[in-house]
Amino acid sequence: MRISHLRQRLQDLGAKPCHEDRLLRGWSQVCSYDKKGSPAETFFPATLRNGLPAIEADLNGLAHLHSEHAAGEGVARLLVELHDGQMVESVLLPRGGLCVSTQVGCAVGCVFCMSGRDGLIRQLGSAEIVAQVVLARKYRAVSKVVFMGMGEPAHNLDNVLEAIDVLGRHGNIGHKNLVLSTVGDVRVFERLMERCAHHSLPPPCRGRTEVRVESLKGDVSTPTLPLPLHGGGNLDSRGQSGIIEKVKPALALSLHSTNAELRAKLLPHAPTISVEELVERAEVYARATGYPTQYQWTLIEGVNDSDAEVERIAALLKGKYALMNFIPFNAVDGLPYRRPSAVRTAEMMHTLNRQGIYSRVRDSAGQEVEGACGQLRARAVKENKPARIKVLTK
């Protein structure tokens, strides 16, 4: 299901924009449709009220918990079963974070990732993407969503951006706390830059909706770097002129190597765009939004952890509004790769930090449960048997 299909279904039942807004807020935030002085019973049209049970049943059937695997330090990997029996993975992260999937499988075929071992199986609809957030919110608060799970968001861009719009406008998540990750695709940069323009609001619903700016607060935010920038609005701003600021997510770019030949081997089906062009395009968006680009680098011993790579990273990112996330490789059955030592990883991070490139190490959650991205799904498919569900603590 796509959000656009849901909206059309609501409109067919007599819903106006304000009714759609109320329902999407209630669903995405897992809260009541009622507002003080405006209960849903009198706010929604009768035809919509009568159709709500069927709509809610369909929404609730989009995703349910197949199994949960604790990974320590506030991290839990969720194996999520979709309405057709296909499975994807979501990850509950510390401080209100959630990583969601955008596809079943992946066509990029990164050699160090389990998600793409069987190729792309199918796209997720925008409602299925949001449903992962709804499912997680039934157990924990979610204030940040990163689109870094199974799949390449660039290959499912319409659905991903539709989900981002719902979460940013209706889901009470700050725009900078919606992080779109990509291996680098011209379509992503073009579509994101289009969002830096303003667009008109739909007409109000019988004068019953208020025009206001809502505060979007979260415990986790995109790091603020000491660099003077302009722009970077973080709210769904509505002014007297009826202008709405489009949701502009933060951008994460999966780099993994500065060497074109090596990067092509690591990411065999990624677009053939030079690393220099990727960084420049990302920088334009970072300057337009005021959010630093988050570069992702899966560290593999003897492959992309050399001094030459560190020097090239420093040259590429010098003066850029960016941060580098080093992610030590998560062991995958059947693959020969290993993660570098903690000492080597720390050395790379400190070398870049000393040169003014803000760098940090992000551990890939799931080492203890063999839960690197795609592994839980692969194991469940192989076993082809129900997994015991561990109920999460609210």
Instruction: Tell me the two tokens of residue 350.
Output: 């400190």
The pairing of strands 250-254 and 63-72 is unpaired
Among the ranges 190-199, 239-248, 251-260, which has the highest mean pLDDT value?
Answer: 251-260
Under the banding of pLDDT at 50, 70 and 90, the label for residue 365 is low
Residue range 74-85: mean pLDDT, rounded: 94
What does the mean pLDDT of the chain come to?
85
Give pLDDT, residue 332: 78
The pairing of strands 144-147 and 178-182 is parallel
Residue type present at position 27: W
Contact status, residue 113 vs residue 149, Cβ threshold 8 Å = no
Instruction: Tell me the two tokens of residue 317.
Output: 């990112």
Catalytic pick among 89, 128, 162, 309 = 89
Q: Within 13 Å and on the Cβ side, how many CA atoms surround 41?
A: 3
- Least confident range from 263-267, 325-329, 352-356, 371-375: namely 371-375
- Least confident range from 57-61, 113-117, 267-271, 292-296: namely 113-117
Give pLDDT, residue 71: 80
Residue range 67-86: mean pLDDT, rounded: 92
Residue range 303-325: mean pLDDT, rounded: 97
Give pLDDT, residue 139: 92
The residues spanned by each domain of the chain are 64-383
Catalytic residue flag (residue 110): no
- Among 315, 296, 310, CA closest to 349: 310
Give pLDDT, residue 217: 32
Residue range 91-109: mean pLDDT, rounded: 94
Under the banding of pLDDT at 50, 70 and 90, the label for residue 391 is very low
Percent of the chain with pLDDT over 70: 80
Give pLDDT, residue 381: 53
- CA-to-CA separations, 270 to 139, 285, 305, in angstroms, rounded: 35, 20, 21
Under the banding of pLDDT at 50, 70 and 90, the label for residue 74 is confident
Catalytic residue flag (residue 373): yes
Give pLDDT, residue 241: 43
Domain 64-383 sits in CATH at: 3.20.20.70
Residue 266 has pLDDT above 80, yes or no: yes
SS3 string of 282-345? HHHHHHHHCCCEEEEEEECCCCCCCHHHHHHHHHHHCCCCEEEEEEECCCCCCCCCCCCCHHHH
Instruction: Tell me the two tokens of residue 206.
Output: 């019988």
- Least confident range from 4-13, 19-28, 174-183, 212-221: namely 212-221
Residue 204 has pLDDT above 60, yes or no: no
Give pLDDT, residue 300: 96
266-300 core/surface letters (b: 16 or more CB in 10 A; e: else)? bbebbeebebeebbebbbebbbbbbbbbbbbbbbb
- Least confident range from 99-103, 120-124, 234-238: namely 234-238
Under the banding of pLDDT at 50, 70 and 90, the label for residue 223 is low
